[in-house]
Amino acid sequence: MHFVRTTPPRPIDVTAAFPELAPLARTAIRLHPRPGSPSVSDSSVGGPLLWPAAEPWPHCDATHEGTGWSESPAMIRLVRRRLARLHRDPDGPAYTPEEEAIKERIDAGPPQPVESPVPLLPVAQLYLRDIPLLRPPGQADLLQVLWCPHDHDDFPKPATALFWRSAAEVGGILAAPPEPKGADYDGYVPDPCLLAPEEVTEYPNYLDLSQELRELLEDPSRWQALGADLGSLYAGYEDREEYEEHPEAFYNAALGDSPGWKVGGWPPWGRTDPYPRHCAVCEARMVPLLTIASFEWSGSSHGWAPLEEQAAATARSHVAGQSPAQPTHVEVGSADNMQIYVCPASPEHPHTDLIQ
């Protein structure tokens, strides 16, 4: 760990008002990815993987229609770096010699139709020492998540692949893994980020609660019994008028599941009602492993922005393409989250994912 990010205390202790929620508390580890230069020995998003030189790099064999737009990951990263540089130094050169060299190398653009098979792109690398919530198989202490940065037939989303390995068993490291020639969306190419893992306690998304618990959260008298001045509690929130009538929406924004990249905890819902996912091998009900988030916080959930970044989180504007809430530049669905689920009975049973 190279830096720290701290989730502010929740505005109220939700279990004081709703002791019924206490048994549903779950631990999550917020990853807090922030731009950096991770090495293969770091936990990272979009960073280089500790990948054995002797092991073939994974590829996606699916057929890809393409979305009509395609750009190489190298060009996507170049454009982002250049915009950030020009923001810092508006009078700087249009292209630095280094940028010019990269541009010339990749100017031909990605092939159409999409190459096949497609080398996967690193999305996340998580060491058990940083994320003790992981439950690796056997002696493994490292989780590597990759994806194919194209849409796929069944659903418009990248196809994910998970690898567990023991870091000590990796001898020679693959120095220059192949990279996909194109990506269907800019948001399918994560920017390299270091992590500041932080353990938090979460409660279920409102949609994940039983009808009985939902009704309790909708009951204003339960909230008033807190003795808190609810008006001032809601004051910092965009949707405060809605909260007056629908305190359960405040619960969802500020007290339930945390937004952003995280391991474990309660999944975000919203695109659909929750539905259970069952293991294809043993039919066990699968559990959330990793949330790949488009945004670390939104207007309604800015109260989850770390203390170290509250000023940036509440700022009204930011430079285009440089939202502090989108440090990884990942965007899936329509500013949604990709949830990766695993089987609690065995990490070796196949995982599944969905967009919410």
The contacts of residue 269 (CB under 8 Å, 6+ apart) are: 205, 207, 208, 356
288, two tokens: 């959330």
Q: Which stretch binds Zn ion (CB under 5 A): 14-22, 83-91, 148-156, 185-193?
A: 148-156
The distance of closest approach from Cβ of residue 185 to Zn ion in the complex, given in angstroms and rounded to an integer, is 13
In the complex with Zn ion, which residue's Cβ is closer, 5 or 64? 64
The distance of closest approach from Cβ of residue 46 to Zn ion in the complex, given in angstroms and rounded to an integer, is 18
For 170-220, give the DSSP string: --SB-SS----S-BSSGGGSPPPEE---EEEEE---GGGS-HHHHHHHT-H
Question: Which residues inside 264-323 make contact with Zn ion, applying CB under 5 A?
Answer: 279, 281-282, 284
State the helix-helix crossing angle for 97-106 and 73-88, rounded to 10 degrees.
160
Q: Does 29 bind Zn ion (CB under 5 A)?
A: no
CA dihedral angle for residue 14, residue 17, residue 23, residue 29, rounded to 10 degrees: 0
Total site size for Zn ion, rule CB under 5 A: 12
In the complex with Zn ion, which residue's Cβ is closer, 216 or 287? 287
Please name every residue paired with 52 in a beta bridge, in sequence order, or none if there are none: 173
Q: Which stretch binds Zn ion (CB under 5 A): 26-34, 158-166, 169-177, 202-210?
A: 158-166
Contact 291, 124 (CB under 8 A): no
Member of 343, 351, 353, 356 binding Zn ion (CB under 5 A): 343
In the complex with Zn ion, which residue's Cβ is closer, 78 or 162? 162
Strands 121-127 and 142-148: antiparallel
66, two tokens: 């393409």
Displacement of CA 8 from its chain's centroid (Å): 19
In the complex with Zn ion, which residue's Cβ is closer, 86 or 284? 284
Q: Does 342 bind Zn ion (CB under 5 A)?
A: no
Provide φ and ψ at 26, rounded to 5°.
Answer: -135, 150
In the complex with Zn ion, which residue's Cβ is closer, 207 or 345? 345
In the complex with Zn ion, which residue's Cβ is closer, 60 or 253? 60
Q: Does 62 bind Zn ion (CB under 5 A)?
A: yes
Starting at the edge strand found earlier in the chain, the sheet holding 44-45 runs 34-35, 193-194, 44-45, 121-127, 142-148, 159-165
Integer Rg of the chain from CA: 21
The distance of closest approach from Cβ of residue 2 to Zn ion in the complex, given in angstroms and rounded to an integer, is 33
Member of 159, 200, 292, 332 binding Zn ion (CB under 5 A): 159
Q: Which stretch binds Zn ion (CB under 5 A): 3-11, 109-117, 153-161, 330-338?
A: 153-161
Q: Does 60 bind Zn ion (CB under 5 A)?
A: yes
Q: Which stretch binds Zn ion (CB under 5 A): 175-183, 268-276, 327-335, 337-345?
A: 337-345
Q: Does 134 bind Zn ion (CB under 5 A)?
A: no
Q: Which stretch binds Zn ion (CB under 5 A): 34-42, 108-116, 146-154, 188-196?
A: 146-154
Positions in the binding site for Zn ion (CB under 5 A): 60, 62, 148, 150, 159, 279, 281-282, 284, 343, 345, 349
